[in-house]
Amino acid sequence: MIAGRGKARIRPPRRGLHGDEVDFDMTWATIESAFREIHTKNASKLSYEELYRHAYRIVLKKKGEHLYNKVHDFERDWLSSEVRASIQQLLSPNLVVDAQSVAGTTANERRVAGEKFLKGLKQAWGDHQVCTSMLADVLMYMDRVYCADQRRPSIFNAAMVLFRDEILHSPVAETATYTILGLLNDIILDQIQMERDGDVIDKQLIKSCVWMLEGLHQDEVESEEQRLYNTSFEVAYLDQSRNFYRRESELLLRDSHAGAYCKHARRRIYEEDERCKQTLLESTAPKIQQVVEDEMIKNRIHELVEMESGVRFMIDNHRLEELNFVYDLNKRVDDKKTEITRAIQQRIVYMGSDINKDAIAASQAPAAAPAADSADKGRGAAQEKSLNQQTVAAIKWVEDVLSLKDRFDKIWLESFESDHLLQQAQTRSFTEFINSPTFPRSSEYISLFIDENMKKGIKGKTEMEIDTVLDKAIILLRYVQDKDLFERYYKKHLCRRLLMNKSISNEVEKQMISKMKIELGNNFTLKLEAMFKDMTISEELTAGFKKHVEGLGDRDPKRIELAINVLTSMTWPLESMGGVAAEEEDQRPRCNFPMVVDKIKRGFEKFYSEKHSGRQLTWLANMGSADIKAVFPKVPQKDGSFKERRHDLNVSTYGMVILLLFNELPADQHLTFEEIQAQTNIPNNDLIRNLQSLAVAPKTRILIKEPMSKDVKPTDRFSFNEGFQGKFVKIKVGVVSGGNKVESDRERRETEKKNDDSRQFCIEAAVVRIMKQRKELSHQQLVSETLGQLAGQFKPEVNMIKKRIESLIEREYLERVEGAKIDSYRYLA
């Protein structure tokens, strides 16, 4: 490989390995002149190898430090004289003044002057970097050996620091304290402000200067936060921005509407983000975001939400997109979205309360003026009309609430991005107004809504539509706190529907029950299911009895056909049937049935007792109906012929009893009220109402009343109306208060009282259950556990619980624990 001249003598070098007297000054002169050429971009004749060698030899001769200092001084001088002079030339007289105060020249002039400065500075910086890089290349050996060894900054880094000190920190004028760096910052800030105002600026140019600031540090610490960019520029930028956005947000709120504000804020946020990417540094992004969010959102969100065009307006005018903007802004500064949640809740409760108020107002409004011939209508009819009006108000309430829910569900889905917290808040608000103490009718109204649908509403609807309707009821039911009250109403209404055969479909009834089972539990639906069972059994009994009778012997053409409903006594809410007044509650309706009816009655009783010995049947004459075939004597027709008229009359049981009295009576004779009363034993009120329906109601005057008037006096006389004319063969004689209606205030109070009574039992049962298990509990714990156990049924008042506890103590179920620090109780076995 290497042809060895192995044996040749090696002479010791005469002048050392590299020439003994490395003359420093001469060498340095060469190097310095080369550096000058480099700086003046005149380096074409230079040889890298030669320069490198010069520096190498100097360091080898242990003169590294000397060289380093010389280079350092050279650079410093170059910067402070040549470079600084060129920078000074960029400063127009106005530039300095304008940068510090905005007034004076036009925006365009300022922009142009600023750009000139930035360009010049960028150029100087660029040149400096290139030159320094070349110097460092040439001095590589010194860097490696001397600097590393002596722990001095590399010549490149030292030169960077020199640029900072000699250029950036130099004053703009001899006596000024304002520095080039300060000017640079102000110019950039000014340009950015112009961009915010809509002008186009040279982003790339600014970015170049930003890079310069990024590469330099405030002092020796070389951390990110100590970069000149951060300590000098960024601080000023954030301050200026803060002031700007504070002012802008104030003006915007004053001058434009909420939706526009939101859009603007979003735009600014986006702009700032882009600015950090394109013009500044990305590390500023989170900090400026914070500034914008603080000034435009956090400090203003309350005003924004509350302003005239704010959330309330948006809700009322279906501005879903704007609501989404507000939500989005709120979310940025607050995880809980407190402001918008509050506004939504307020609105829901307000609108809900309005719905409540409307319902109450509608139900208390004076009855619509009756028709002209009011004398013909019974007083009951007018009352009926007003009650119908109330029922209508109830239905409307349900539909309004559901409609409100739909509206806010839509907002929740589209504007609030199905936000979990907002869903909870909305639920709370709905619960609030539905269970408001000023509106105690929710349970009743919901039950009426279902009632109306079961009787009429679902007619003609598809399975899916029906399901939707039922689900609506369930949705509302979920909000109701007094579920026991609802149960009470539902039973009452269901009872009437079943017994008067008003339901369109038994299937749908059962469907509703099973939905309620899921929602409210088994206990609730047990009694309801029992009612259905009774109806089924009653059908079987009716069929069975009919067969039984047929089997007995010849068919009597005049035999009465019986359709029977046997009701298990505790299952059905019978006290609410037939308008029996509270005072007469204890009295079962009594009635003297005509013989034919009595016969069939006894026949059935016998039949039933053979099936179920030991059970007692009580007949409810105030309920039920009868179909009577009535024959009216011939009357002359228009065309001269005579025709006997037959009608099928459908009347109440009492009505039947009354009419049959007239069968034995000659046509020209009459019965007085008192006589009828004595013979039938029908309670007064019922008798009056039934006589009104048979003799006063215009289309169903089967009887003639003397004297003719709306009200019925004991001395009034009644006779069979031979001349009765009815349009149709089948005539139904309706009695006032047939259907389910909204309760009068009196009735409502009664219902509530009954409900409270049964609640007391429930509370006591719960307390005993709890104490039996826990043996000893503090008062607070007992109350809260009781509340918890009963939550599914109703919300007991704390006072009621207290009273029940005291009652239980009196009755020695519990005792107070003596000497305990806090009120406590003990279970007494």
Partner 1 sequence: MAETAREELINSLKSLLSSSEYSDFTITCGADAYKVHKAIVCSRSGFLKRAEKFPFGKKSAENMVNLPADDPAIIKCLFHFLYGCDSNDAPIDRLLHAKMYEITDKYNLRGLKMPTREKFTLEHAFMSTPDEDQGLREILYEIVVSHVVLLEQTSVEELMGSHTGFAFSVIKRQAAELARLKSS
Binding site for partner 1 (CB under 8 A): 1-2, 4-6, 9-13, 16-18, 38, 43-49, 52-53, 56, 60, 62-63, 130, 134, 137, 140-141, 144-145, 149
Dihedral sign (CA 327, 330, 332, 337): negative
**41 φ, ψ to 5°?**
60, 40
Residue closer to partner 1, measured from CB, 12 or 366: 12
Least distance to partner 1 from the beta carbon of 160, Å?
A: 19
Residue closer to partner 1, measured from CB, 51 or 712: 51
Residue closer to partner 1, measured from CB, 18 or 277: 18
Least distance to partner 1 from the beta carbon of 49, Å?
A: 6
Q: Can you tell me the distance from the alpha carbon of 604 to that of 544, in angstroms, rounded to the nearest whole number?
A: 10
Least distance to partner 1 from the beta carbon of 128, Å?
A: 15
What lies within 8 Å, CB to CB, of 83 at 6+ separation is: 124, 128, 163, 166, 167
CA atoms lying within 13 Å on the CB side of residue 797: 7
Least distance to partner 1 from the beta carbon of 27, Å?
A: 13
Q: Can you tell me the distance from the alpha carbon of 377 to that of 152, in angstroms, rounded to the nearest whole number?
A: 115
**Torsion from C-alpha of 349, 354, 356, 359, nearest 10 degrees:** -160
Contact 79, 166 (CB under 8 A): yes
Contact 461, 501 (CB under 8 A): no
Contact 141, 135 (CB under 8 A): no
Contact 571, 531 (CB under 8 A): yes
Residue closer to partner 1, measured from CB, 137 or 648: 137
Residue closer to partner 1, measured from CB, 62 or 254: 62
Least distance to partner 1 from the beta carbon of 261, Å?
A: 55
Residue closer to partner 1, measured from CB, 34 or 508: 34
Residue closer to partner 1, measured from CB, 17 or 631: 17
Q: Can you tell me the distance from the alpha carbon of 153 to that of 139, in angstroms, rounded to the nearest whole number?
A: 13
Least distance to partner 1 from the beta carbon of 18, Å?
A: 8
Contact 532, 576 (CB under 8 A): no
Residue closer to partner 1, measured from CB, 28 or 141: 141
CA atoms lying within 13 Å on the CB side of residue 162: 24
For residue 712, give the 3-state DSSP assignment: coil
For residue 636, give the 3-state DSSP assignment: strand
Strand (E) positions, 437-559? Answer: none
Residue closer to partner 1, measured from CB, 146 or 604: 146
**Torsion from C-alpha of 119, 122, 127, 130, nearest 10 degrees:** -140
What lies within 8 Å, CB to CB, of 393 at 6+ separation is: 358, 359, 362, 363, 742
DSSP 24-61: HHHHHHHHHHHHHHHHTT--TT--HHHHHHHHHHHHHT
Least distance to partner 1 from the beta carbon of 48, Å?
A: 4
Least distance to partner 1 from the beta carbon of 83, Å?
A: 20
* Bond from prior residue into 171 cis (ω within 30 degrees of 0): no
- Point out which residues pair with 718 in neighbouring strands: 671, 705
Residue closer to partner 1, measured from CB, 60 or 562: 60
**Torsion from C-alpha of 154, 157, 160, 165, nearest 10 degrees:** -80
What lies within 8 Å, CB to CB, of 383 at 6+ separation is: 367, 736
What lies within 8 Å, CB to CB, of 629 at 6+ separation is: 646, 647, 648, 649
Q: Can you tell me the distance from the alpha carbon of 547 to that of 557, in angstroms, rounded to the nearest whole number?
A: 16
Residue 211, both tokens: 């890079």
Residue tagged 């060895």 (tokens): 4
Q: Can you tell me the distance from the alpha carbon of 771 to that of 443, in angstroms, rounded to the nearest whole number?
A: 31
Identify the CA nearest to 364 among candidates 387, 341, 333. 387
Residue closer to partner 1, measured from CB, 2 or 372: 2
Residue closer to partner 1, measured from CB, 41 or 769: 41
Identify the CA nearest to 251 among candidates 192, 194, 300. 300
Residue 301, both tokens: 């969100």
Residue closer to partner 1, measured from CB, 134 or 281: 134
Least distance to partner 1 from the beta carbon of 94, Å?
A: 38
Least distance to partner 1 from the beta carbon of 107, Å?
A: 41
Residue closer to partner 1, measured from CB, 4 or 437: 4
Q: Can you tell me the distance from the alpha carbon of 296 to that of 290, in angstroms, rounded to the nearest whole number?
A: 10
Which amino acid is located at 717 in the chain? R
The 10 Å Cβ neighbour count of residue 573 is 19
What is the C-alpha radius of gyration for the chain, rounded to an integer number of angstroms? Answer: 50
Residue closer to partner 1, measured from CB, 63 or 405: 63
* Bond from prior residue into 683 cis (ω within 30 degrees of 0): no
Least distance to partner 1 from the beta carbon of 21, Å?
A: 10
Q: Can you tell me the distance from the alpha carbon of 537 to that of 539, in angstroms, rounded to the nearest whole number?
A: 5
Least distance to partner 1 from the beta carbon of 34, Å?
A: 10
Least distance to partner 1 from the beta carbon of 226, Å?
A: 30
Residue closer to partner 1, measured from CB, 53 or 266: 53
Residue closer to partner 1, measured from CB, 61 or 110: 61
Least distance to partner 1 from the beta carbon of 1, Å?
A: 4
Least distance to partner 1 from the beta carbon of 181, Å?
A: 30
Residue closer to partner 1, measured from CB, 53 or 515: 53
CA atoms lying within 13 Å on the CB side of residue 539: 8
Least distance to partner 1 from the beta carbon of 144, Å?
A: 7
- Point out which residues pair with 630 in neighbouring strands: 647
Least distance to partner 1 from the beta carbon of 133, Å?
A: 9
Least distance to partner 1 from the beta carbon of 4, Å?
A: 5
Contact 206, 279 (CB under 8 A): yes
